[in-house]
Structure 1
Amino acid sequence: MKALRLRDPVVYALPRGGVPVAAEVAAALGAPLDLVLVRKIGAPGQPELAIGAVVDGDNPEVVLNADIVAATGATSAFIAAARRRELAEIERRRARYLAGRAPMDPTGRAAVLVDDGIATGASARVALHALRRRGAARLVLAVPVAPPETLQALRGEVDEIVCLLEAELFFGIGAFYRDFHQLSDEEVIASIASHQGPAATGT
């Protein structure tokens, strides 16, 4: 990461799993740590199948996978209701994790988006859109593991991708971890609190 020579970087984590990884990246870069809160929109009757995702912000953005929307029969009413529900959870998480701290302003800065791994890329894509829209001058996606085809699909969204392992045989992110338990809110808060980088600056 240091070899990229990023100017005035801000590290953004995708909670929950991305927070401990992002805290290490932020520490290595000497950069502040913030969150991009994204929630998956699950398909009707198949909540684990993402038809898209929604990201927080002044103008919340929704990115949909049109093929999966069509295949699952998700209606506009279903998507609107899911959007409201997931935005409410996003607000809860921001208040819980950051105690009401305003999001950092990436305008003119390098934004490094970090997760614990990428499968379909839906959450990463909507987060990258949001950071670009907020004025980030350079976008870097940094993850430990992802399938090559997902990374290829995301290359047009970013300036750089850093991935430790491009896994041809990909059976889910958890297969690459010894411990892949669902992080609690308390663990996320502890990871954020343990980061001793520069103080965050609000918008």
Structure 2
Amino acid sequence: MFEDRQDAGRALAKRLNTMDPGSTVILALPRGGVPVAKEICDATGAPLDLLLVRKVGVPGHSELAVGAIADGPGSSLVINREVAESCGLSEADVRDLAKPEQVELERRKKLYFGTRNRVDLTGKAAILVDDGIATGATMRAAIKAVNARGAGQIIVAVPVASRQVIDALKGEVDHVICLATPEPFWAVGQQYAHFPQVSDAEVTEVLSAIPHVTGHPRP
């Protein structure tokens, strides 16, 4: 069990301490992935950027992801086919469910970035960081978006996830780092002693405090 997201981030940083910060970008999935990613950036000197992703929940069971959308070029909707079929949802249904999440994605984009430039991922090693992975839908949407931005290598780095999801992701990216795969796996938050919700204010505070975020290199 991790004490909190910062503790998990420091543990991940130890696994990433051999990377070249000049050719690497840490991409945090807000909001929970931001405190984790900050610890990695502080330890390694790699630049930080955000990759905005929103889960698309099943009606009446919002925690169950039927898909996810990510900010990026082209269509970034990823559908969890197994969940969609079990719930009797068509692709059109999932796209309709994704519309309000797209609105929230745009709100966060304006709030977090404003007019700041994004880090160029072309040819870089992109390390996708979250506080954990449940179904894998949001991470798959993130992977799709990063591929579209021309990343040369994609690495998923998370403190905790189910073994089934990790095994599936290994076929979609160059490398997966996961510190814990508890069985049975019930929820990400169960692996943390303290797991409060991360606020928009905390995210913007991290962005303003790190000088090498979104295209501004560390002096």
Tell me if both proteins adopt one fold, taking TM over 0.5 as the criterion.
yes
Aligned-residue offset at 1:164: 1.7
Q: After the TM superposition, which parts of structure 1 deviate over 4 Å for at least 4 consecutive aligned residues? A: 4-7
Q: TM-score, normalised by structure 1?
A: 0.91
Residues 72 and 148, structure 2, Cα contact 8 Å, conserved in 1: no
Return the letter of the residue paired with 1:106. Answer: L
Closer, same or farther in 2 for the Cα pair 1:52/1:197, shift >3 Å? same
Q: Percent identity?
A: 44
Contact 1:111 1:140 (8 Å CA) reproduced: yes
**Deviations along 1:162-202, whole A, 9 cap, x unmatched?**
1222222322111111211111110111122222436616x
| TM-score, normalised with respect to structure 2 | 0.85
Q: 1:80 aligns with which of 95, 98, 102?
A: 95
Would the alpha carbon gap of residues 198 and 17 (structure 1) be closer, same or farther in structure 2, given more than 3 Å must change? closer
Describe how 1:1-203 pairs up with structure 2 within 5 A. Answer: 1-5=16-20, 8-197=23-212, 200=215
Change in 2 beyond 3 A, CA 1:199/1:88: closer
- The alignment partner of 1:90 has SS state of helix
Measured against aligned partners, the alpha-carbon deviations of 1:97-119 in whole angstroms (never above 9, x if no partner) come to 12232432211110000000111
- Ranges in structure 1 where 5+ consecutive residues have no aligned partner: none
For the aligned residues, what is the CA RMSD?
A: 1.8
Structure 1 pair 175/198, CA: closer, same or farther in 2 (3 Å)? closer
**Long gaps (5+) in structure 2:** 1-15
Deviates more, 1:98-107 or 1:172-181: 98-107
Q: Distance in 2 between matches of 1:134 and 1:144?
A: 25
Question: What is the alpha-carbon distance in structure 1 between the residues aligned to residue 213 and residue 204 of structure 2?
Answer: 17
Shift of 1:61: 1.0
Aligned residue pairs: how many? 201
* Contact 1:27/1:196, CA 8 A, preserved across alignment: no
Cα offsets for 1:35-54 (capped at 9, x unmatched):
11111111132222111111
